[in-house]
């Protein structure tokens, strides 16, 4: 275990933030955060995370250290563990064990992406997919705007409702006024650079953990919306989907519309605030990459991995010391990402105490232990079960890495922000490490620790 360094704290204001629940299930992480078999859920506490006046007793550092001592030596967590536990009401550090160490974070990176996107973009921003008239009669140019939630005809209804390709096809059909569609040209040039990230393992796309990053896709680049498998070229697949709705004989190819081309139709995603919620709850890698690129565009950068990572770090700059977030993607799939756990807890404190509600989708998007998202089938049995509904946290899983970062209320009612990252988990030990992290979070939930 690394020696505990000193940490720099962020100044935060004091305000209320009542939290609802975003109930959604879907894409998991690499390799083990997949939805598991359903089982009865325990009763859910809907107590607001941070009351108007958080007067509950604060745990002491000594009390917490004593309570966690046995959990932190669990062999399932491997040989290096970084821990940051902060009082959400005061910002005071209660436990810091290598909290300033640069660790491989996996999907807890999505907390940083979420805060950056909500800070840098208006919350009502939507991602729009357009259809424009092409160069020849009967040409339709399908222009992607980064909406990976655009739903095909076979996709199940979602909440909030996603934009649907059939609605765009209906608009195009009316606009063509009887002219048959002869070609569907796809324009995915809103995103630039490689379609897979630096430090991504080649098997991620093949396993269905993420699609090749594209400004134009339907059903998250899946060949079948009910399955994980991804297509090799999401833009061409999206064009084929529109062609099937307009004219099955239409040719599908890449192309662009001339400046000033007539609009044939447009459909838009739910607002960015709702997309952030879904991204966190489901640990949606495709959404994370798309949202980070939209932020890059807002910063005047290229919508690439490099531009998106730079935009996230630039936005978070005033919120954390230099070097806290060293990122190369928005999803946390890259093994080149590095994050200081104390920086993650600082962002969680900001979200919990934000006076304008700007960051509230971070709170509502965090999976709820035992109920939804990537925590739906955890905290369901054994020592961790009493904490079901009491822990709201983002999971992080890569080979050799297991992390859990979020918010928990103690037995005496004090709200804590925490990040525990184990980045030397034994080979094949992911499930055991997750169970150990759940027990650790449950210990925080059951603790008075004074």
Rounded to 10 degrees, the C-alpha dihedral 291/292/297/303 comes to -110
The vertex-196 CA angle with 191 and 198, nearest 5°, equals 110
Omega of the bond leading into 27 within 30 degrees of 0 (cis): no
Residue partners of 39: CB distance under 8 A and separation at least 6: 377, 380
CA distances to 140, 168, 312, 336, 448 from 130, rounded to whole Å, are 10, 8, 27, 35, 55
Cross-strand pairs, 393: 406
**Residue among 107, 331, 360, 402 flagged as catalytic:** 107
Please state, as a whole number, how many other Cβ atoms lie within 10 Å of the Cβ of residue 426.
15
Q: Other C-beta atoms within 10 Å of 68: how many?
A: 20
Question: 183-187 and 251-254 as β-strands: parallel, antiparallel, unpaired?
Answer: parallel
User: In 10 A of CB 410, how many CB atoms?
Assistant: 22
Indicate which residue of 82, 84, 110, 402 is catalytic. 110
The tokens for 155 are: 């996709």
* Residue 157 structure tokens: 């209804």
- CA–CA distance, 108 with 399 (Å, rounded to integer): 14
For residues 419 and 105, what is the distance between their CA atoms, to the nearest angstrom? 10
Residue 107: active-site member: yes
**3-state secondary structure at position 316:** helix
Nearest partner of 230 among 203, 212, 253, judged by Cα: 212
Residue 166's H or E segment, with its range, is helix 165-176
Evaluate whether 415 touches 88 at the Cβ level (below 8 Å).
yes
Q: Would you tell me how many other CB atoms lie within 10 Å of the CB of residue 336?
A: 15
The DSSP output letter for 340 is -
Which entry of 84, 214, 283, 360 is annotated as an active-site residue? 283
| Active site members | 107, 110, 283
């Amino acid at each position: 275990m690394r020696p505990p360094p000193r940490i720099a704290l962020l100044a935060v204001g004091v305000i209320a933030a009542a939290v609802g629940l975003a109930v959604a299930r879907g894409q998991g992480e690499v390799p083990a955060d997949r939805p598991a078999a359903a089982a009865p859920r325990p009763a859910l506490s809907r107590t607001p995370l941070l009351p108007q006046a958080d007067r509950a007793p604060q745990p002491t550092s000594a009390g917490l250290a004593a309570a966690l001592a046995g959990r932190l030596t669990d062999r399932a967590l491997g040989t290096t563990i970084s821990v940051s536990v902060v009082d959400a009401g005061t910002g005071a550090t209660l436990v810091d064990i290598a909290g300033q160490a640069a660790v491989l974070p996996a999907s807890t990176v999505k907390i940083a992406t979420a805060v950056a996107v909500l800070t840098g973009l208006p919350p009502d921003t939507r991602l729009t997919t357009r259809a424009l008239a092409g160069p020849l009669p009967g040409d339709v140019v399908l222009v992607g705007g980064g909406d990976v939630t655009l739903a095909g005809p076979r996709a199940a209804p979602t909440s909030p409702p996603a934009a649907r390709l059939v609605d765009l096809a209906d608009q195009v059909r009316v606009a063509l006024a009887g002219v048959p569609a002869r070609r569907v040209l796809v324009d995915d040039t809103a995103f630039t650079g490689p379609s897979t990230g630096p430090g991504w393992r080649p098997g991620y796309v093949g396993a269905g953990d993420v699609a090749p990053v594209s400004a134009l896709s339907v059903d998250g680049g899946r060949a079948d919306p009910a399955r994980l498998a991804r297509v090799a070229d999401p833009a061409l697949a999206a064009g084929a989907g529109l062609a099937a709705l307009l004219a099955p004989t239409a040719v599908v190819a890449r192309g662009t519309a001339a400046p000033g081309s007539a609009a044939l139709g447009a459909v838009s995603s739910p607002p960015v605030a709702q997309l952030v919620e879904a991204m966190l709850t489901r640990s949606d890698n495709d959404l994370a990459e798309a949202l980070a690129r939209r932020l890059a565009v807002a910063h005047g950068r290229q919508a690439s991995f490099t531009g998106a990572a730079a935009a996230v770090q630039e936005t978070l700059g005033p919120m954390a010391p230099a070097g806290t977030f060293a990122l190369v993607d928005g999803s946390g799939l890259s093994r080149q990402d590095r994050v200081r756990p104390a920086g993650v807890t600082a962002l969680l404190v900001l979200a919990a105490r934000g006076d304008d509600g700007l960051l509230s989708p971070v709170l509502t998007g965090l999976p709820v232990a035992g109920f939804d998202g990537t925590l739906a089938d955890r905290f369901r049995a054994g020592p961790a079960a009493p904490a079901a509904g009491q822990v709201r946290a983002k999971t992080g899983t890569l080979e050799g890495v297991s992390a859990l970062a979020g918010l928990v209320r103690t037995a005496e009612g004090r709200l804590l922000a925490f990040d525990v990252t184990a980045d030397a988990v034994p080979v094949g030990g992911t499930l055991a490490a997750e169970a150990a992290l759940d027990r650790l979070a449950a210990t925080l939930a059951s603790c008075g620790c004074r």
